[in-house]
Amino acid sequence: MQPFSYHQVEQADTAIASARLDQSMYLAGGTSLIDLMKLNVQTPQQLVDINALPLAQVEQQGNGVRIGAMARNSDVAYSAMIRERYPVLSEALLSGASPQLRNMATVGGNLLQRTRCYYFRDTAFPCNKRVPGSGCPAIEGYNRIHAILGGSDRCIATHPSDMAVAMMALDAVVQTRGPQGTRSISIADFHLLPGNTPEQETVLEPGELIVAVDLPASPFAARSHYLKVRDRASYAFAMASVAAALELQNGVVRSARIALGGVGTKPWRAYDAEKALINQPLNQNTLQAAAKAAVQGAKPQKYNGFKVELTKRTVMRALATVGGMA
């Protein structure tokens, strides 16, 4: 681990002013950042500790819910309000990591998780996310865990978050404060595709701080489910996951949300799959059409072609569960 300075703050404005310095990073739960610092994958010169900021609330906000960026994953997962109104989010959080990590990890930090790509986490290999222009060995290497959607010739690493996939299905809005003021950013726009700049993973500007995530009220959020398929039953990242939510009227789908994890370079909204469901009866044929549409444009690599069929089956099972067909 490289030397760094440590600065603890109690006010958001102080945090933002401190983090504007080059090579500064915010420290919240630290469950991912500290690991990467030990591996010398991330080498900030300054850590700005924001644990004292009063941003841990989970509260009513209009007809929806506001979750503070410092809310711990376990607190959000077990919140009665979240479990009743947004079950997909509770299920996604409880499927991730371990109880000990969930007790430390924060909502803001979860959104900013770095990929679990082997090559990114091992500095013996080149990686365009770590050193732009150095190459992506995963494309020709062992790419079983990598993305089949949203990749480029610079990067095919998957986004690891379960929580962000659920929030994508819930049309969440990320609230930030930074040197230029406040912003409200749709979760769909928050994470970036790798394209030619895989080192740029979000739209956050230097020093910009996530302060909350808003979940709007919706006709489908309460009828939702998160299904995660992984190599082992606990403490493993998704090979494929689906956050599904449906509004049904007399067996007909009136609105739908489908988001995918473990298969995209960012939390992946399956818009084509949603379109295949709207105004259709929820039956086996409709499920198959949605599943096929969900992997439209997939580009599997040498070792992860199985993810195409796995994703289709996971979509069908998640939708069947939400629709009471399972």
Interhelix angle 284-294/306-322, nearest 10 degrees: 140
Q: Is residue 43 part of a domain?
A: yes
* pLDDT < 50: residue spans in the chain: none
279 neighbors 252 (Cβ within 8 angstroms) = yes
266 exposure class (CB count in 10 Å sphere: 0-12, 13-18, 19+): buried
Q: Is residue 276 part of a domain?
A: yes
Q: Is residue 69 part of a domain?
A: no
Residue carrying the six token digits 């591996």: 39
Number of domains in the chain: 2
For 77-133, the pLDDT digits (tens) are 999 999 999 999 999 999 999 999 999 999 999 999 999 999 999 999 999 999 999
Domain boundary at 15, 30, 49, which?
49
Q: How far apart are CA 150 and CA 236, in angstroms?
A: 22
pLDDT of residue 1: 85
Domain containing 34 — which CATH number? 3.30.43.10
Domain containing 312 — which CATH number? 3.30.390.50
190: helix, coil or strand? helix
pLDDT of residue 107: 98
Q: What's at 276, amino acid-wise?
A: A
34 exposure class (CB count in 10 Å sphere: 0-12, 13-18, 19+): middle
Q: How far apart are CA 54 and CA 279, in angstroms?
A: 44
Q: What is the residue range of 305's domain?
A: 224-322
For 274-298, the pLDDT digits (tens) are 999 999 999 999 999 999 999 999 9
Q: Is residue 72 part of a domain?
A: no
34 neighbors 114 (Cβ within 8 angstroms) = no
Q: Is residue 173 part of a domain?
A: no
Residue carrying the six token digits 């009743």: 84
76 neighbors 107 (Cβ within 8 angstroms) = yes
DSSP 132-189: TTS--TTTTS--TTS-SBS--SS--PPP--SHHHHHHHTT-EEEEEETTEEEEEEHHH
Q: Residue 136 is encoded by which pair of tokens?
A: 């992506």
162 neighbors 125 (Cβ within 8 angstroms) = no
Q: Is residue 206 part of a domain?
A: no
pLDDT of residue 233: 86
Q: Is residue 277 part of a domain?
A: yes
DSSP 71-124: -BHHHHHT-HHHHHH-HHHHHHHHTSS-HHHHHH-BHHHHHTPPP--TTTT-TT
CA 93 remoteness from chain centre: 11
Q: Is residue 29 part of a domain?
A: yes
CA 200 remoteness from chain centre: 15
For 191-201, the pLDDT digits (tens) are 999 999 999 99
Q: How far apart are CA 207 and CA 177, in angstroms?
A: 9
Range 72-100 burial, b when 16+ CB lie within 10 A, else e: bbbbbbebeebeebbbbbbbbbbbbbeee
203 exposure class (CB count in 10 Å sphere: 0-12, 13-18, 19+): middle
Q: What's at 107, amino acid-wise?
A: V
